[in-house]
Structure 1
Amino acid sequence: MEPSEEAETHSSLQDVNPLFLQQLRELDIPEEAAKQALVHTRNVSAEEAAMYYFNKLENEEEEGEELRFKMVFVVNMDLGMGVGKVAAQVAHAAVGLYQVLQEKTSWREMAWKWDHSGAKKVVVQGTNVAHLLELQALAMSLNLPTYLVQDAGLTRVESGSRTVLAVVGEEEMVNNVTGSLKLL
């Protein structure tokens, strides 16, 4: 930076509109970042500066973005399970899938990445057992680990009923399998 540019930027940082600066601080934008955003947008308004700041922040996050992973549980809605039964079956699916992930080194690494990227979990609606089997086959063809829960039949569901399919992997890949399903 040229000495004149440095002096100009320094004086500009001190000449920011105090009202706009206060408004940006109320949005939890750090003071220096708020001042820089106001300078870059020529003190037009707090809104302009906020848009500049958040767009810049979003772009920086995307550039350094690592792969995100998620675990999805597809519930067999054909069985008419109650809330408690669904919760128990999803828990069985999570534990079962996590055990499957321990079988291969690459899957253990995936489990670690999934856990360290937020351990995202989503529960969606599947139509029936045929639908769950179709989704499992698609997931397997994409080399995504899966686990399909078969109920023991000790409570409300017939023994051997397939209740929940669990799938885990890189978010975009999992979306290829379950992305069109409705949330439960």
Structure 2
Amino acid sequence: MKQVIAARTDIGMGQGKLAAQVAHASLNAYEYTDDRAVRRWKDEGQTKVVVKVGSERELYERSEEAKRAGLPTGLISDAGRTQLEPGTPTALAIGPAPDADVDQITGDLSLF
């Protein structure tokens, strides 16, 4: 079981902004995960992997693919209080879910 969080590289987020957006996405997807999967994920160490996506379009495509596969997702859009325009999509978490299921959608992405 793992969770993969994809963050955009094309919008110039600072390190703090990136960390916050990844955390928001992780928690959001977690909230939509069934209790049994959450328990298993916690028992296995709550693996999280952060990867890069190069565009808004790619973020949405991965989100739709994960939804079609029945995986929990958390797609985050920034509130626009600091670095980005309001509503800018920044990060997508997929899972927690079985590794192979998440890898089908994110396995080709580079690590952050």
Same fold (TM over 0.5): yes
The CA distance in 1 between the partners of 2:35 and 2:70, in whole Å, is 14
Match of 2:18 in 1: 86
Q: Does 1:150 align with 2:82?
A: no
The CA distance in 1 between the partners of 2:4 and 2:110, in whole Å, is 12
2:7 to 65, 75, 90: 75
How many residue pairs get aligned? The number is 111
- Greater relative contact order structure (CA < 8 Å, 6+ sep): 2
Match of 1:139 in 2: 66
The 5 Å alignment of 1:4-153 reads 69-101=1-33, 107-153=34-80
| Letter of the structure 2 residue corresponding to residue 165 of structure 1 | L
Q: Which structure: greater helix fraction?
A: 1
The CA distance in 2 between the partners of 1:144 and 1:152, in whole Å, is 25
Q: Does 1:174 align with 2:102?
A: yes
* Runs of 4+, deviation exceeding 6 Å: none
Which stretches in structure 1 are left out of the alignment for 5+ residues? 1-68, 102-106
The CA distance in 2 between the partners of 1:109 and 1:129, in whole Å, is 32
The CA distance in 2 between the partners of 1:133 and 1:146, in whole Å, is 11
**8 A Cα contact 2:30 2:72, kept in partner:** no
The CA distance in 2 between the partners of 1:95 and 1:143, in whole Å, is 18
Q: Which structure: greater strand fraction?
A: 2
Shift of 1:158: 0.7
Which stretches in structure 2 are left out of the alignment for 5+ residues? none
Shift of 1:118: 1.4
* Percent of aligned positions that are identical: 39
1:92-121 CA-to-partner distances (Å, cap 9, x unmatched) read 1122112222xxxxx221111111111100
The CA distance in 1 between the partners of 2:89 and 2:5, in whole Å, is 12
The CA distance in 2 between the partners of 1:97 and 1:138, in whole Å, is 15
Aligned Cα RMSD in Å?
0.8
Match of 1:162 in 2: 89
